[in-house]
């Protein structure tokens, strides 16, 4: 898996709550879908920084150790890693004691100039513990000639390129920041603590706020740093405004439909994706069936626009991990059956429109098409609620290399034959733009559908050559 260097993550930060570690835990629990391999929480009690990181799911890791994570400040991270060896070493948050005090960081995204920064830091004597690019940020902070943590952080952030939504913990403050393109989300919320005090919360997705009863206020602006300390909350622009490049895939697949991402309800985008798909790629069929869970909301949109009945004819077992992320092909093959089972009486003799959010390698989709046909469907019309995925993501979504992306080297008819569908239809790029409300604004990144990367490609090629790992 050395050729895979992209990871998916969720981050959270809590300032000013006596049960900060519990709130961080619950937030990570709500964001488990953003990464299932390892998770960690760091807290500060004003003096000491406490850390717990482990492999596995959030609900299995934290309940027994929350009492060991005291303090009113916390940051947390959940991560899906693609590497097999040093995984726990790469688990986040990273924490260090340096000349700027005790500091911890958690990162969602992918720093595209990390290899260069790291080589430069190593020449200057820095020693790295892990292969993740996030550690680079802490070294940049430590090396900065600025005396305060916030000043050093500003210095460090200005040297980074690529995608980063970052949460930092210092002894008495939380600082969060988003890259100037705004690739990955980061929302700000607040809640009341007893005595009328305010607690500030930051999370990748607002579904975390819903669970802990926090109110979503707005997003951290791209190029903005938000500092919360004893003096209150300060918003500061650390970098000039750049062309926005918010990740369209967050709305297509990655975020939960009950979240508001980039200020827009994901469910609204996703239903619209399905409606536009029905207009662009209608099917002469009897029933609309989603691939659960990822295709559900788009299938509802497709059904209501087409007037065809919506039927949940594939049942998902929720107690298995995502098959996509299993490391070996053999386990992946087995995994589809573990995860999905057809409801035969809904499928027998029917012409089925099967709706899924995306098609990456095509291997899972082929198994699902076969499963639906074997259950008795007369025809299977596969509809994908985004354009063909032709290019890897370098900004924090786990996509395989270009060679493994079926749409990068096959046309639609060849893909249709591979997945064994009667017909295959993808949504157009212009409809995707419309569905996320970006048709006139140009605030999203569509690089995985166009190959048109919003940042310097030289850096990305170097990164690929270095086989750098990220989150």
Residues that bind ligand AMP (CB under 6 A): 253, 291, 294, 322, 324-325, 356-365, 397-399
Pairing assessment for the beta strands 379-384 and 423-426 based on DSSP bridges: parallel
The values of phi and psi at residue 453, to 5°, are -85, 135
Opening angle at CA 203, ends 200 and 208, nearest 5: 95
Q: Choosing from 9, 445, 448, 471, which is the catalytic residue?
A: 9
**Angstrom distance (rounded) from CA 369 to CA 101:** 56
Shortest Å, Cβ 181 to ligand AMP:
20
Shortest Å, Cβ 207 to ligand AMP:
17
Shortest Å, Cβ 420 to ligand AMP:
12
Nearer to ligand AMP, 264 or 322 (CB): 322
Beta-carbon contacts of 434 under 8 Å, excluding residues fewer than 6 positions away, are 272, 276
Query: Could you give the angle at which helices 266-280 and 296-306 cross, rounded to 10 degrees?
Result: 50
Peptide bond into 293 cis (omega under 30): yes
Query: Could you give the angle at which helices 134-143 and 114-123 cross, rounded to 10 degrees?
Result: 40
Shortest Å, Cβ 307 to ligand AMP:
25
Pairing assessment for the beta strands 340-342 and 314-316 based on DSSP bridges: antiparallel
| Helices marked H in 35-174 | 58-61, 87-90, 114-123, 134-143, 149-157
CB 434 within 8 A of CB 427: no
Shortest Å, Cβ 27 to ligand AMP:
21
* Helix (H), strand (E) at residue 74: strand 73-80
How many Cβ atoms sit within 10 Å of the Cβ of residue 60? 11
Nearer to ligand AMP, 325 or 343 (CB): 325
Nearer to ligand AMP, 204 or 364 (CB): 364
**Angstrom distance (rounded) from CA 404 to CA 426:** 18
- Residue 105 tokens read as 């960081």
Nearer to ligand AMP, 291 or 377 (CB): 291
Positive or negative torsion for Cα 457, 463, 464, 468: negative
Shortest Å, Cβ 340 to ligand AMP:
10
Pairing assessment for the beta strands 162-170 and 73-80 based on DSSP bridges: unpaired
Nearer to ligand AMP, 177 or 359 (CB): 359
| Cα-only R_g, the chain | 22
Shortest Å, Cβ 146 to ligand AMP:
37
**Angstrom distance (rounded) from CA 397 to CA 375:** 33
Nearer to ligand AMP, 138 or 397 (CB): 397
Shortest Å, Cβ 460 to ligand AMP:
18
Strand partners, 79: 9, 38
**Angstrom distance (rounded) from CA 453 to CA 445:** 8
Nearer to ligand AMP, 154 or 416 (CB): 416
DSSP state of 292: T
Nearer to ligand AMP, 44 or 82 (CB): 82
**Angstrom distance (rounded) from CA 150 to CA 165:** 16
* Catalytic status, residue 448: no
- List, by residue number, the catalytic residues: 9
């Amino acid at each position: 898996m050395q050729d895979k260097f992209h990871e998916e993550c969720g981050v959270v930060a809590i300032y000013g709550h006596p049960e900060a570690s519990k709130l961080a835990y619950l937030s990570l629990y709500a964001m488990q879908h953003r990464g299932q391999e390892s998770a960690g929480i760091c807290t500060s009690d004003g003096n000491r920084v406490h850390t717990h990181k482990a492999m596995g799911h959030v609900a299995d890791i934290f309940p027994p150790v929350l009492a060991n994570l005291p303090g009113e400040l916390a940051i947390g991270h959940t991560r899906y890693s693609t590497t097999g060896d040093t995984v726990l070493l790469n688990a986040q948050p990273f924490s260090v004691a340096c000349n700027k005090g005790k500091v911890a960081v958690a990162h969602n995204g992918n720093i595209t100039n990390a290899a260069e920064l790291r080589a430069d830091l190593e020449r200057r004597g820095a020693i790295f513990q892990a292969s993740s690019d996030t550690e680079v940020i802490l070294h940049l902070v430590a090396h900065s000639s600025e005396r305060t943590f916030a000043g050093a952080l500003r210095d460090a952030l200005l040297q980074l390129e690529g995608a980063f939504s970052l949460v930092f913990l210092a002894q008495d403050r939380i600082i969060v920041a988003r890259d100037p393109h705004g690739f990955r989300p980061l929302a700000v919320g607040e809640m009341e603590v007893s005595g009328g005090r305010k607690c500030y919360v930051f999370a990748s997705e607002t579904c975390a706020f819903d669970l802990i009863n926090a109110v979503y206020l707005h997003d951290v602006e791209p190029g903005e740093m938000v500092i919360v300390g004893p003096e209150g909350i300060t918003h500061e622009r650390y970098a000039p405004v750049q062309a926005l490049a918010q990740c369209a895939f967050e709305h297509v697949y990655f975020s939960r439909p009950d979240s508001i991402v980039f200020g827009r309800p994901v469910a609204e985008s996703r239903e619209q994706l399905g409606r536009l798909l029905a207009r662009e790629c209608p099917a002469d069929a009897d029933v609309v069936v989603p691939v659960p869970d990822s295709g559900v909301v788009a299938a509802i949109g497709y059904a209501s626009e087409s007037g065809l009945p919506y039927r949940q004819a594939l049942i998902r077992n929720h107690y298995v991990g995502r098959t996509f992320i299993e490391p070996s092909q053999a386990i992946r093959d087995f995994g589809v059956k573990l995860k999905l089972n057809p409801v035969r009486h809904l499928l027998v003799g029917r012409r089925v429109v099967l709706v899924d959010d995306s098609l990456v390698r095509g291997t899972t989709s082929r198994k699902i098409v076969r499963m639906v046909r074997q259950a008795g469907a007369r025809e299977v019309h596969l509809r994908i609620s985004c354009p063909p995925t032709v290019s890897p993501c370098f900004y924090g979504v786990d996509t395989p290399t270009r060679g493994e992306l079926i749409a990068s080297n096959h046309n639609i008819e060849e893909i249709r034959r591979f997945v064994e569908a009667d017909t295959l239809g993808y949504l157009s790029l212009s409809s995707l733009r419309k569905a996320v409300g970006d048709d006139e604004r140009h605030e999203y990144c569509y690089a995985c559908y166009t190959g048109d990367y919003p940042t310097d490609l030289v850096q990305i090629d170097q990164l690929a050559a270095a086989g750098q790992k990220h989150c």
